[in-house]
Structure 1
Amino acid sequence: METLRIGEIKLTWLNGGDTHMDGGAMFGVVPKPLWSRKYPVNERNQIELRTDPILIQKDGKNILVESGIGKGRLTDKQLRNYGVTEESKVEESLNELGLTPLGIDIVLLTHMHFDHITGLTKEVDGELQSVFPNASIFTSDIEWNEMKNPNIRSKNTYWKENWRAIEHQVIPFTGKEEVISGIKMVHTGGHSNGHSILILEDAGETAVHMADLMPTHAHDNVLWVLAYDDYPMTSIEQKEKWLSFAAEKEAWITFYHDAKYRAIKWNASKETVDTVDRIK
């Protein structure tokens, strides 16, 4: 498992499974001859998107960013439609680190689309139960409200099965929330109305987790936004703002979906300074 340190904050990427989604949808109006130079595409025009949660450890707390696509939660049709070739092995990853799901103190959800939160629950005796029953679950109040009351567009990804079993654990925040010292969630909107990013800061070092504002390193152009984005102009505005922040801070950019990099650091000229490569 790949790791990264931001001061005393330790990040470890777990195995949350994968999807293969339409490349055109993932790059919006950008022509395929441009985006396909930067990110591999298969014969079905699909690109691989990991769904790998990040375990953050600081001050004795075990914090999970997202939850993967789960195991046994998707129908055969959904597995085909979403191009899933591997389901989650989050519990196995935790076991390798000497942990169990019961040891997760906090879960941070940048947003609540199915590929980020289906791993929060599992079926036990025909009923869905929380996988991380001891965790406080943070997401923005806007996201939480839409999760429970999806509109005609968002109901395809905000599933009631994904929130009912964990409703009592959710702590919605407004605007921004410092979950523990040095780990902050900031509402951005864009990809979804309630979408948030994470800012990690410790000992003079910084990481920015852009979540689905920038799902892969190939989305580094602020104008390259997803067809899935509900508010693309907001995505562009927020990408520009936070990529400028990251450049100023010489920060790491971390990923949940990228099939090549776990994290990347650019300088002000957009030259790659350092990477954490995904070990396949």
Structure 2
Amino acid sequence: MEQLRVGDYQLTWLDGGVTHLDGGAMFGVVPKPLWQRKYPANDKNQIELRTDPILVQAHGKNMIIEAGIGNRKLTEKQRRNFGVTNESRIDESLEKLGLTTKDIDAVLMTHLHFDHVIGLSKWSEETLVPTFENAVVWTTDIEWNEMKHPNIRSKDTYWEQNWKPIEDQVETFTNEIDILPGLKMHHTGGHSDGHAVITIESGGECAIHMADIMPTHAHQNVKWVMAYDDYPMDSIREKQKWLSKGLENGAWFTFYHDAFYRAIKWDKEGHMIDKIERSR
């Protein structure tokens, strides 16, 4: 498991499963000859996308960013359509670190689309129960409201089975919240109306988790946004804002979906100067 130290914070990537989604949808209006130079597609025009939560440890707390694809939560048709070739192995990842799901104090959800939220619950016989039984689940109030009351478009990704089991654990915020000293969640909108990014600042170091407004390293160009984005101009605005802040401060940019890199550091001109590659 790959790790990154940011001041007092230890980040460790867990095995949350893998999907393969349509490359055209993931890069929107960007022509395939351009995006495929940076991120390869298979013969079905799908690109590999991890769903790997990040364990964040500091100040005696264990938190995770996002929740993975879960286990036995998708139908055979859904697994085929979403290109799921491996489901979550979070229990095994945590065991290697001497932890269990009971040790997780908080889950930081940037948004609640199915590929981020499925792993928040698990089957106990015929009943869905919380995976992280002692954790607070943080998300924006806008996102939580849409999760429970989806519109004609969002109902395809906000599923009742993913919020019912964990509704008693959810805490929401509006604009910004301090989770721990130096660890914040910020509402951005864009990919979804309630989407958020996460920042870590500690010991003179910085990391930014931009989630699905920059899902992979190949989305570094501020105008390269997904067809899945509900508000693409908001995505562009927020991506430009947080990229600029990160580049100015020498930040690490971390990824949940990227199949090749866990984290990247770019210089002010956008050239890669440091990286943590995913073991393949």
Q: TM-score range by the shorter chain?
A: over 0.9
Structure 1 residue 125 displacement after superposition: 2.1
1:210 corresponds to: 210
Q: C-alpha separation between the residues in 1 aligned to 2:123 and 2:193? A: 29
2:44 corresponds to: 44
2:198 corresponds to: 198
Amino acid at match of 2:97: L
Amino acid at match of 1:31: P
- The DSSP-based 3-state class of the residue aligned with 1:38 is coil
Structure 1 residue 182 displacement after superposition: 1.0
- The DSSP-based 3-state class of the residue aligned with 2:199 is strand
2:92 corresponds to: 92
- The DSSP-based 3-state class of the residue aligned with 1:245 is helix
Matched, 1:270 2:270: yes
1:178 corresponds to: 178
Matched, 1:247 2:247: yes
TM-score (norm 2): 1.00
Amino acid at match of 1:120: L
1:2 corresponds to: 2
- The DSSP-based 3-state class of the residue aligned with 1:4 is strand
Supply the RMSD in Å over aligned alpha carbons: 0.4
Moved over 2 A (4+): none
Structure 1 residue 8 displacement after superposition: 1.1
Unaligned runs of 5+ in 2: none
2:256 corresponds to: 256
2:126 corresponds to: 126
Amino acid at match of 2:74: L
TM-score (norm 1): 1.00
Structure 1 residue 38 displacement after superposition: 0.3
Aligned length: 280
- The DSSP-based 3-state class of the residue aligned with 2:144 is helix
2:75 corresponds to: 75
Structure 1 residue 243 displacement after superposition: 0.2
Q: C-alpha separation between the residues in 1 aligned to 2:72 and 2:96? A: 21
2:144 corresponds to: 144
Structure 1 residue 123 displacement after superposition: 1.1
2:106 corresponds to: 106
> Per-residue CA shift, 1:81-118, capped at 9, x if unaligned?
00000000001100010000000000000000000010
Amino acid at match of 1:222: V
1:24 corresponds to: 24
Amino acid at match of 1:45: N
Q: C-alpha separation between the residues in 1 aligned to 2:125 and 2:203? A: 47
